[in-house]
Amino acid sequence: MLDLTVNRDSKPPLYRQIAEQIRTQISNGRLPANSRLPTVRGLARSLGVTRLTVQNAYAELQADGWIEATVGRGTFVSTAVQQMSLEPTVGQYLTPDSAINDMLAINQVIGVRSMAMAHADPTLFPLDAFWSHMDQLRPEANQLLSYGPIQGDTPLRVEICKMLREDGIPSSPDDILITTGAMQSISLALTAVAQPGDGILVEQPTFLAVLNILKAQGLRPLHVEMLPDGPDLAQLEQRIIEQRPRCYYTVANYHNPTGYCLSPAKRQAILQLAQRYNFLIIEDDIYGKLGFDGPPPRSFKQQDPDDRVLYVSSFSKMLMPGLRVGYLLMPPAWRSQLLTLRRATDLCGTSLIQRALAHFLQDGGLKKHLRRVIPIYRERRDALLNSLSRWMPTAVRWSEPQGGFSCWVTLPRRLPPGLLYQQALENGFAFTPGEAYMLDDDGRDYLRLCFGNLSAEGIEAGVKLLSALIQQQLTSSTPAGDWLPYV
């Protein structure tokens, strides 16, 4: 029989409390696929709630694919749950590449509560508004399904320029290159400005896909430790003097994976170093519009007198990643080279989606959306920080993100690689192991928790589970298997 409780004083409505607990029990395997659930009438009676409450809970679970109802037979845990065998590639040989692979695979599995991806909540996407713009494009669709301009749809570039202008970054539509996500902007920018063997400065930890790009392009990552207010400047200058980097890649706002924000002073200092030692800056501002307490500090691009900043962003985090719309503000010196590279890569993206997005922006849809979702994400951040305070062992530390989706958790010592991750997955919970974001480590262990895509209850349940696993690992004197702790 189901073990459920409801709390009438608690904030989430009763039906959500019920749905959430059932989801948890499916996730952690207590309710395996094909388990029969109680009848609506039976569960309502045993919990002392109305039948409508249970019906609502079941309807939500059914809509999300967790359970299936067949008239006359009853309600069962869906066979789609855990249908996909999870074969994580992590462990001793975790690479950024395998970590991305795992994250995307886990994203496709119903039945895992995932804090692994820095993903906007898809259920918050303003689908009605977006879809109505798509519908209005139908008369032009034949044209919009032809080859579009290399640089991307012109009306969308106009709208992006307006956004940039509001952020204090003047530009013209001719300066904008629309790409398949920010990923392609970063990849093209690095191809354009760097030669194989060139040193590229990255924060440690950093956005793991960039480590992937550097490896694929034969570039040499140079890491500088990320502190809560930005990179360690002394270490940075030393690296610069020793290694003469071509470029510095930074996520200055609500940094992935730490959630940190570079202070205005550090931004200034880095720009001065860039001028003194003549390197370029790739500024990845993908989280910049997701500040919980007002806008972030002035961007690098806002204070870039000699056009050495290649500014990158995308709609993946502020709207939805499946739009696959990122953009690069091309400094004049690199424009022609970047366009040539785009023509030698994949020519152009889907104008239909780009034009619908342009009309959505024109209509004020993004601003309206951000006004709605930022309080929700702020609440989830709060739920995460509260849960961490409440459940985590005392030696564990974490960042306090002022925006974005990422929180960085630091354990006091190294655990056997992959073990915690594996145990969490077996219990239906996913995070990303910190080693994926690191070029080397200092004997501590890290993990990234993303809070954008789960309800406050889901976050608390996940943190509680994870805390118990960490507690267990930290207190076990002999590590599992062949592993020896490094400290």
Q: Site residues (CB under 8 A) for its own copies?
A: 97, 100-101, 104-105, 107-108, 117, 119, 122-123, 125, 127, 131, 134, 138, 141-150, 179-181, 183-184, 187, 209, 212-213, 215-217, 320-324, 339-341, 343-353
Instruction: Please say which residue, 353 or 449, places its beta carbon nearer to its own copies.
Output: 353
SS3 292: strand
The DSSP line for 224-253 is EEEETTEE-HHHHHHHHHHH--SEEEE--S
Closest CA to 37 of 10, 424, 47: 47
- Identify which of residues 337 and 386 has a Cβ nearer to its own copies in the complex: 337
261 or 338, CB closer to its own copies? 338
Minimum distance from CB of 435 to its own copies (Å)? Answer: 17
Cα 171 from chain centre: 27
DSSP 315: S
- Residues 403, 120: Cα–Cα separation, whole Å: 12
Which residue lies nearer to its own copies by CB, 36 or 343?
343
Give the largest CA-CA distance in the chain.
Answer: 76
What are the DSSP calls for 345-396, one per residue? TT----HHHHHHHHHHHHTTHHHHHHHHHHHHHHHHHHHHHHHHHHHS-TT-
Least Å from the CB of residue 274 to its own copies? 25
For the chain, helix (H) and strand (E) counts, in that order, are 16, 16
Residue with tokens 């993908």: 286
Name the residue nearer to its own copies (CB basis): 179 or 406: 179
CB of 102 to its own copies, least distance (A): 11
3-state DSSP assignment of residue 67:
strand
Q: Which is nearer to its own copies, 296 or 321 (CB)?
A: 321
Residue 204 C-beta: closest distance to its own copies, Å: 19
Of 2 and 341, which has the nearer Cβ to its own copies?
Answer: 341
Euclidean distance between CA atoms 37 and 3, whole angstroms: 11
- In sequence order, the 6+-apart residues with CB closer than 8 A to the CB of 224 are 201, 202, 203, 204, 231, 232, 235, 236, 239
- Two tokens, residue 32: 């395996």
Q: Which residues pair with 114 in a beta bridge?
A: 430
Residue whose CB is less far from its own copies, 284 or 445: 284
Cβ proximity to its own copies: between 126 and 479 the closer is 126
- Position 238, amino acid: Q
State the Cα–Cα distance between residues 181 and 173, nearest whole angstrom. 18
- CB-nearer residue toward its own copies: 100 or 227: 100
Other CB atoms within 10 Å distance of the CB of residue 372: 11
Nearest of 346, 257, 340, 264 to residue 303 by alpha carbon: 264
Minimal distance in Å, beta carbon 212 to its own copies? Answer: 4
Q: Work out how close the CB of 84 gets to its own copies at its nearest, in angstroms, rounded to a whole number.
A: 11
Tell me how far CA of residue 453 lies from CA of 125, 161, 212, 287, in angstroms. Answer: 12, 29, 24, 15
Instruction: Confirm if 165 and 212 have CB atoms less than 8 A apart.
Output: no
Q: Report in angstroms how near the CB of residue 293 gets to its own copies at its nearest.
A: 27
Taking the complex as a whole, the smallest distance from the CB of residue 157 to its own copies amounts, in Å, to 13
Closest CB 143 distance from its own copies, rounded Å: 6
Which residue number, 267 or 355, has a Cβ lying nearer to its own copies? 355
Q: Which is nearer to its own copies, 62 or 263 (CB)?
A: 62
In the complex, minimum distance from the CB of residue 41 to its own copies, in angstroms, rounded to a whole number:
28
Distance, CA of 321 to CA of 398 (rounded, Å): 27
* Pairing assessment for the beta strands 429-430 and 113-114 based on DSSP bridges: parallel
Q: How far apart are CA 369 and CA 359, in angstroms?
A: 14
The alpha-carbon radius of gyration of the chain (Å, integer) is: 24
Nearest distance, CB of residue 282 and its own copies, angstroms? 15
CB 370 to its own copies: min, Å:
17
